[in-house]
Amino acid sequence: MTDPQPNLFELVQKHHSQESHAALHWEGSLGEYMEKVEEAPRLARNAWQRMLEMIESHGMDSVLGQRRAKRWHLFSDPFGEGRDAIYGLDDPLSELVDVIRAGARGLGPERRILLLHGPVGSAKSTIARLLKSGLERYTHTPDGAIYTFSWHVDGEVIDSPMNQDPLLLIPQEQRSGVEQRLNERLQAEYEVRIEGELDPVSRFYFGLLMDRYEGNWTKVVEHVRVRRFVFSEADRVGIGTFQPKDEKNQDSTELTGDLNFRKIAEYGSDSDPRAFNFDGEFNVANRGLVEFVEVLKLDVAFLYDLLGATQEHSIKPKKFQQTSIDEVILGHTNEPEYRKLQNNELMEAFRDRTIKIDIPYNLNLSSEVEIYRRRYGDRRTAQRGMAPHTLELASLWAVLTRLEDPTHPSLSLLQKARLYDGQEVAGFTPEQTLELRAAAIREGLTGISPRFVQDRIATCLVGDKPTIHAPDVLDAIEAGLGHHSMITSEEQRKRYLELVAVVREEYESMVKHEVQVAIASDREAIDRLCSNYLDSVRAYTTCEKLPAEHGPGHDPDERLMRAIEEKAEIPESRKDDFRHELMNYIAAVHLEGETFDYRKNKRLTRSLELKMFEDRRDSIQLTSLVSSVVDPEAEQKIAVIRRRLMEQFGYDEASASEVLREVADLFARADVEPEVAPDQEAAA
């Protein structure tokens, strides 16, 4: 007999760990804490070093073909099962991590503002959100443990209002010896430094006790209790977020704290630190990260506070001395605000203290598909089918809007998108792709946001059709462009509409190709066709006759060879070279002890499929699908093709039927040539 399942309360109780809670609430003396630090010198890290190790704790993968060749797993959103994962921005994210690494080493960026710059919807806020979430969770782990202290004086417990490092209690003259001892044991790419001074409240109690004990530091720190704490944006601990408001309502005390008028009466002075609330965003973010949303919309008074916070690592609360802070300052802004900054000479000091990291729109087609699949995957569209290529073609249009027209005379915009996606385009190497990217320095900073495409897909999903097709989404995009608020000129709107037409052509080529493959997908017949072709090529290149079962041999089938080679766009003038190259390649494969498989050669396979389709097209009578006359025999053949579309390309019955009708309509409207251009073939 199986044990009964626990009820919900028991299930929660079973996974609740008292040991974990106890570890997160450790408390001890300063001496006990310093023993911990000596055993694990990483506890003395500053905010930049902690940020770096948090990112590295999630690991990274190498990315072939990328300049920096790193994909940091933190930005795949390990906390939300990939819900906020960032795709296609490995280069700028690697640049961001490199800047944080330099700051952790004390090479200069730690005295700068990290400014994420890019168009709306390019994931700037998501990057900040993942960094904040990462820090929160990291401080819950043993590796991310962080400690602060409180004063126990005359029956009162007074917490360090800015959660400062307990090591700041060490007098200045002893700090270098402590640092040297710790760095001798620290195995890291950075050195720890005990930098900064106690906040005004701690200075007050430190001075009070030093007077009481006549300078006996040991007696003073007996009043100190060190405790572990964790970051929490919701509780405003270690994570700060500031968003500009109306200029008339902005007040710099939101950053540096303000007087507590109720306590002024208690302590008798507005300059008593105990009568001050150290609850500004800089205060609460000490030891962690402060995010400035739309940082360039800040009032000038705020920017002065920001300059001191970055360069001097200090802030100036009202009525008090400069107060040390230790935090990463991250801002983000859109393109129009950044252009204002560039044109404002009064902002020169701010520009000088800023490290700008461009966060462009994604330019990788496969990554763009993942953005939409994350939102509109099977789980989210369970009541609506989505035909193959729907998300891919919506993504293709979005990427095309962000690309600059290629300067290379033989490269189309569509081919450029394929190169950026890692696909092969004849005549271009991966090195040339990198050169194309480097030459287009503003590529990705303009174009259509993923949000617009998501909105247009959403309008299709609430319609009546059980299955959404690529043309449905393209129609919705076309309609949405008529009133898109981000389009600033009619010329821009016209270009986007032209790109919709380009993607429609691509869709037609893709579905024609799939129908052609479904019609021609008789493997035995294609094998025989390939065998006959290779026999003729072999005989032609060796100037021999083809063997016959009875009687003398016969000449190679020139008509068959040219029919297949024309499908591969081999001109008459190059047929001899092509045939000899093919035979040499087959011979080399045999010398290596392998068997030649035409299916490994996409160009040859496609040519054979097109030849097979051409031979069978008339017998299938596909145009009967758009005719009022129903031929039972043709209907039976079309049912076979429909089944192949479902098996080979993932259509359901309804979407396979619709694709067949679309292709039949294309053939019925005009005598459409079935061949597909080479650049279209790659995407198909």
> For the chain, how many structural domains are there in total?
1
Q: Is the pLDDT of residue 303 over 90?
A: no
C-alpha distances (whole Å) from 321 to each of 198, 256, 318, 578 are: 11, 12, 8, 82
Q: Check if the beta carbon of residue 153 is closer than 8 Å to that of residue 479.
A: no
- The DSSP H or E segment spanning 655 is helix 653-669
The verdict on residue 551 lying in a domain is yes
pLDDT band at residue 186, thresholds of 50, 70 and 90? Answer: very high
Q: Beta partners for 159?
A: 150
Average pLDDT over residues 144-168: 96
Q: Is the pLDDT of residue 677 over 60?
A: no
DSSP state of 558: H
Residue 543: its pLDDT value, please?
87
Average pLDDT over residues 392-416: 94
Phi, psi of 246, rounded to the nearest 5 degrees? -55, 135
The verdict on residue 370 lying in a domain is no
Alpha-carbon distance of 427 to 544, in angstroms, equals: 35
More confident residue, 588 or 145: 145
Lowest mean pLDDT among 146-160, 210-224, 500-514, 586-600: 586-600
pLDDT band at residue 674, thresholds of 50, 70 and 90? Answer: very low
Residue 678: its pLDDT value, please?
40
Residue 344: its pLDDT value, please?
76
Q: For the full predicted model, state whether its pTM sits above 0.85.
A: no
Average pLDDT over residues 260-287: 91
The verdict on residue 162 lying in a domain is no
The verdict on residue 673 lying in a domain is yes
Q: Is the pLDDT of residue 317 over 60?
A: yes
C-alpha distances (whole Å) from 630 to each of 515, 622, 635, 655, 668 are: 20, 11, 7, 20, 15
Look-up of token digits 């490269």: 411
More confident residue, 461 or 330: 330
- CA 20 remoteness from chain centre: 33
Whole-number percent of the chain with pLDDT over 90: 49
The verdict on residue 347 lying in a domain is no
pLDDT band at residue 675, thresholds of 50, 70 and 90? Answer: very low
Q: Is the pLDDT of residue 632 over 90?
A: no
| 454-512 pLDDT, tens digit each | 999 999 988 788 889 999 999 999 999 988 877 878 999 999 999 999 999 999 989 98
Alpha-carbon distance of 179 to 174, in angstroms, equals: 9
What sections of 105-238 are H helices per DSSP?
124-138, 172-185, 200-212, 217-221
- CA 621 remoteness from chain centre: 47
The verdict on residue 188 lying in a domain is no
| 541-583 pLDDT, tens digit each | 988 888 876 556 788 888 889 888 888 888 888 888 888 988 9
Residue 116: its pLDDT value, please?
95
Look-up of token digits 């990483």: 42
Range of the domain at 643: 518-683
Residues ≥6 apart with Cβ < 8 Å to 542: none
Joined tokens for residue 507: 């869709």
| 351-373 pLDDT, tens digit each | 888 999 999 999 999 999 999 99
Phi, psi of 291, rounded to the nearest 5 degrees? -105, 130
Residue 616: its pLDDT value, please?
65
The verdict on residue 644 lying in a domain is yes
Joined tokens for residue 256: 């540096």
Q: Is the pLDDT of residue 69 over 70?
A: no
On the 0-12 / 13-18 / 19+ scale of CB atoms within 10 A, 623 is middle
Which of 262, 265, 277, 266 is CA-nearest to residue 319?
A: 277
| 604-613 pLDDT, tens digit each | 887 887 777 7
Q: What is the largest CA-CA distance in the chain?
A: 122
The verdict on residue 158 lying in a domain is no
What is the residue-wise DSSP string for 219-284? HHHTTEEEEEE--BTTTTBSEEEE----GGG--THHHH-EE-HHHHHHHS-TT-GGGEE--SHHHH
Q: Check if the beta carbon of residue 520 is closer than 8 Å to that of residue 612.
A: yes
| 40-61 pLDDT, tens digit each | 999 999 999 999 999 999 999 9
Residue 622: its pLDDT value, please?
56
Buried b / exposed e over 301-324, threshold 16 CB at 10 Å, is ebbebbebbbeebebbbeebeebb
